Amino acid sequence: MKNRTTLFITLLASLLITFFLLAPLSHAQASGGERILSFDSRVVVHADGGMVVEETIRVRSEGHEIKRGIYRDFPTAYQGRQGLKHVTQFQVKEVLRDGRPESFHMKSMENGERLYIGRKDFYLRTGEYTYRITYITDRQIGFFDDHDELYWNVTGNGWIFPLDRATATVELPSGAGQQIIAMDGYTGYEGEHQKLFTVEKGADGTARFETTAMLKSNQGLTIVLSWPKGFVQPPTQAMEARYFLRDAAHVIPGVAGLLILLLYYLHTWSRVGRDPEKGVIFPRYFPPDGLTPASVRYIMEMGYDHKVLTSAVINLAVKGYVKIEQKDDTYVLHKLKEPDAGLSRGESRLLTDLLGSSKQLELKQKHHSTISTAITQLKSFLKTEYKKQYFLTNSTRIIPGIIISLIAVGASIASLRANPGVIALIIHSLVWPPVFVLFSRFYIPKWKTFLQTRKASHLCVVLIMSPHYLMLTGAVIVILFLLFKTAQATFTVVYVLMILVNVLFYYLMKAPTPLGRKAMDRIEGFRMYLRTAEKDRLNLLNPPERTPELFERFLPYALALNVENQWAEQFADVFARAGSAAGTTVYRSTWYSGRDLDFSRGGGFASAFAGSLSSAISSSSTAPGSSSGFSGGGGGGGSSGGGGGGGGGGGW
């Protein structure tokens, strides 16, 4: 027992002795690590507003961070007015180490310059070194109504080393030093208002600031000095113009690119995209000769969309070549007879492509190959028959516009000197907004279809797509907001305007030919008749008698021209009388069976039926797995870290 007690006391004594012996050594190592021993700044303010700054920085190097030398960061780009930067000069005149010229090189950063002192192939020995940096800067003086002011971050708040002592000596133009109005300063972390410094004015008018406590890493000294007006000349108009060009350097490529883009598109549009003048348009009771509903839609839209095929299929049914049957949520096309002279060449080809030798075709995804082939053939036929003869898309004219936009955006990015994070953000902004537009082209029609049909199946599609659409919308908003905050507001505005200009002229470049304009005038006259309200029918001269057959005959055209509801509303009383004559409550069509084409629902039934059928055709033409359900002020005063200058530094 006695031996155990003796052993315990011996071990405890050894631990205590070791602790007391190592603690001073540990403290000595901590206090003797790499650090800035002194930071002495001499600031000379000239009468023209320029400044010469001489910084003498004495450091201790132990080969950890300070291996080859030190680096000094100097901000040159501050947030200015009207979304522009406030860019200052930073011109290094001389760099010394221990009184001898030292090698240095510069590296541009997002908001300024980094000065590396030393050589890549030369390593310092452990010891103390004194660096002296002399540089020129401008636009650091604040010109106020009743005084001029220097608000200057002496050391910067970005040093990774502690700083034992900092001083700043400010020499003003002749006579100004004797009339200094106020001297103040701040120490601590950025935004703090500590006053751990002293300030005095010498007999020669020189102001001298000195810290009274050690500055930790990322702490700094900022000074404020004011004097009467008249000693420092404010910038002339010529200088302000040069400053503006300097501040707007990151905006000029974008603005110039936007102007060039507009000039290019306006010139090109005036040459090839301007529509021929419209002729006299008056109500026409029949569609233009030789134009089917599909061709009418194709000509008026100057391109293909889902309503082209829908109107063509309904026209085949109205003419008696197919019957459309609705079984629950599935549509089935039944072939009633083979193509003959009663069909146009395009309609004959479509009937053959859809049904061929088959008697029926379910509009389901398992038949996507047949339906997508029919769509491809229909597009090809319409393009051959009408494109170039009736209209020109001039889509190739958009390519130079896109190239101009990319060059302008690239030049703006280069002038921004953005960090990789901002560049990545800009790249995302080039990708996701177009994805959002494409997704919207699918999502919004799904909503329209549901609102027209009120069917549970269409609601399910909307509910599945909505979360992804909302996430995509949120992502685009966040990307543009971050771009606005990090890449300058003006750049973001110019960038968004470029996108809008390209999209706008993509549509404006489409132009009908003289032949196409005449056809469009006749089609417009026919549309005028189709949408004529009951109260206006008396103004028409000998219109055709309203019968169920007339309604069905022109329904595909009304659908193609987006006036199916107006056309159907004119026949509400006609359907009621026809149903009574047949001994039923509602009129029944011979070319359709199902619940969507309900003539008792008023004019809205036409859009509901067309939307439902269009949705079925669109869904059944897509291969399984080819689309994903997922989408990728007030206040004032100063503080430490405020004013011009600043930055920080470290070792390398």
Which residue bears the tokens 């206040």?
635
**Mind spelling out the 3-state secondary structure of 82-118?**
CCCEEECCCEEEEEEECCEECCEEEEECCCEEEEEEC
Read off the pLDDT of residues 336-385 as tens digits, 9 standing for 90 and up.
999 998 899 999 999 999 998 889 998 887 888 888 899 999 999 999 99
Percent share of the chain, pLDDT over 70 = 78
Tell whether the model's pLDDT for residue 538 goes beyond 90.
no
pLDDT at 487 (0 to 100): 59
Task: Look up residue 419 and give its two tokens.
Answer: 């960090």
Question: Greater confidence, 183 or 108?
Answer: 183
Q: What is the DSSP string of 531-552?
A: T--GGGGGGSSSPPPP-HHHHH
Instruction: Please name which of 89, 162, 163, 99 lies closest in space to residue 132, comparing C-alpha atoms.
Output: 99
Q: b/e string for 62-72 if b means 16 or more Cβ within 10 A? A: beeebebbbbb
DSSP secondary structure letter of residue 40: E
Residue 622: C-alpha distances to residues 4, 365, 366, 367, 615 (Å)? 86, 7, 9, 9, 11
Residue 14 CB neighbours (<10 A): 10
Task: State how far Cα 532 lies from the chain centre.
Answer: 43
Instruction: Please name which of 10, 59, 7 lies closest in space to residue 34, comparing C-alpha atoms.
Output: 59
- What is the rounded distance in angstroms from the CA atom of residue 221 to the CA atom of residue 219? 7
- What is the rounded distance in angstroms from the CA atom of residue 460 to the CA atom of residue 469? 14
Read off the pLDDT of residues 161-179 as tens digits, 9 standing for 90 and up.
999 999 999 999 998 989 9
Residue type, 537: R
Average pLDDT over residues 301-311: 91
- For residues 247 and 87, is the Cβ–Cβ distance under 8 A? yes
- What is the rounded distance in angstroms from the CA atom of residue 206 to the CA atom of residue 149? 15
pLDDT at 397 (0 to 100): 93
Read off the pLDDT of residues 466-509 as tens digits, 9 standing for 90 and up.
888 888 888 888 777 776 666 566 777 888 899 889 989 998 99
pLDDT at 24 (0 to 100): 42
Q: What is the phi/psi pair of residue 535, to 5°? A: -70, -20
Average pLDDT over residues 209-220: 94
Tell whether the model's pLDDT for residue 596 goes beyond 80.
no
For Cα atoms 31, 32, 36, give the angle at the middle one, nearest 5 degrees: 95
Question: Greater confidence, 440 or 605?
Answer: 440
Task: Look up residue 208 and give its two tokens.
Answer: 């001298």
Question: Greater confidence, 451 or 172?
Answer: 172
Average pLDDT over residues 381-391: 92
Please, which residues bridge with residue 91 across strands? Answer: 136
- For residues 147 and 227, is the Cβ–Cβ distance under 8 A? yes
Which residue bears the tokens 């930055």?
647
- For residues 639 and 192, is the Cβ–Cβ distance under 8 A? yes
Round to the nearest angstrom and report the end-to-end CA distance of the chain: 60
Question: Greater confidence, 432 or 192?
Answer: 192
pLDDT at 581 (0 to 100): 61
Read off the pLDDT of residues 547-578 as tens digits, 9 standing for 90 and up.
888 989 999 999 999 998 888 888 877 877 77
Instruction: Please name which of 476, 465, 469 lies closest in space to residue 434, comparing C-alpha atoms.
Output: 476
Average pLDDT across the chain, whole number: 82
DSSP secondary structure letter of residue 289: T
Tell whether the model's pLDDT for residue 422 goes beyond 70.
no
Residue type, 595: R
Which residue bears the tokens 């009467």?
228
**Mind spelling out the 3-state secondary structure of 621-632?**
CCCCCCCCCCCC
Instruction: Please name which of 221, 191, 219 lies closest in space to residue 208, comparing C-alpha atoms.
Output: 221
Question: Greater confidence, 51 or 1?
Answer: 51
